[in-house]
């Protein structure tokens, strides 16, 4: 089963917990065990698993601003002025594979699926492929 969720973003750099949206699709599917593959097909977005804690998410923002600063004179900026967004996405991943157990993502106590908007605001799509096994 393939599901699509739309994520409207409001900021240029935004981190959004989408765990509940994925678990909702798993519930709709009726799958109790298997695997979820979550994928964003935008070159300036990414996905990661970590703790959804305000301080940590602010640290992530500052980390990327420091590591890959905006407006550093990247060659791609001559086209779109968003090279920093593309470079930041390369460090992260466009997809995740997470087991499903008891009809939910099998995440640790403090783990969440975080969608990273790196060039917003925009309307983004995330695809969720659910496989029962």
Domain boundaries, given as residue ranges, for the chain? 2-132
Q: What are phi and psi of 30, to 5 degrees?
A: 80, 0
Token pair for residue 13? 């750099």
Q: pTM for this one?
A: 0.96
pLDDT one-digit tens code per residue, 3-58: 999 999 999 999 999 999 999 999 999 999 999 999 999 999 999 999 999 999 99
Name the pLDDT band for 133 (thresholds 50, 70, 90).
confident
Dmax (CA) for the chain in angstroms is 50
The proportion of the chain whose per-residue pLDDT surpasses 70, expressed as a percent, equals 100
CATH 2.60.120.460 fits 2-132, yes or no: yes
Q: How far is CA 38 from the centre of its chain?
A: 8
Q: Are 86 and 43 in contact (CB under 8 A)?
A: yes
């Amino acid at each position: 089963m393939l599901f699509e969720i739309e994520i409207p973003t409001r900021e240029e750099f935004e981190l959004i917990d989408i765990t509940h949206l994925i678990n909702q699709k798993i519930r709709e599917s009726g799958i109790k065990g298997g695997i979820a593959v979550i994928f964003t097909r935008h070159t300036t977005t990414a996905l990661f698993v970590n703790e959804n804690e305000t301080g940590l998410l602010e640290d992530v923002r500052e980390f990327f601003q420091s590591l890959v600063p905006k407006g550093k004179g990247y060659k791609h900026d001559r086209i779109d002025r968003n090279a920093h967004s593309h470079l930041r996405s390369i460090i992260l991943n466009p997809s995740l594979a997470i087991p499903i157990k008891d009809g939910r993502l099998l995440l640790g106590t403090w783990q969440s699926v975080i969608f990273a908007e790196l060039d917003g605001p925009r309307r983004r799509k995330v695809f969720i492929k659910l496989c029962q096994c």
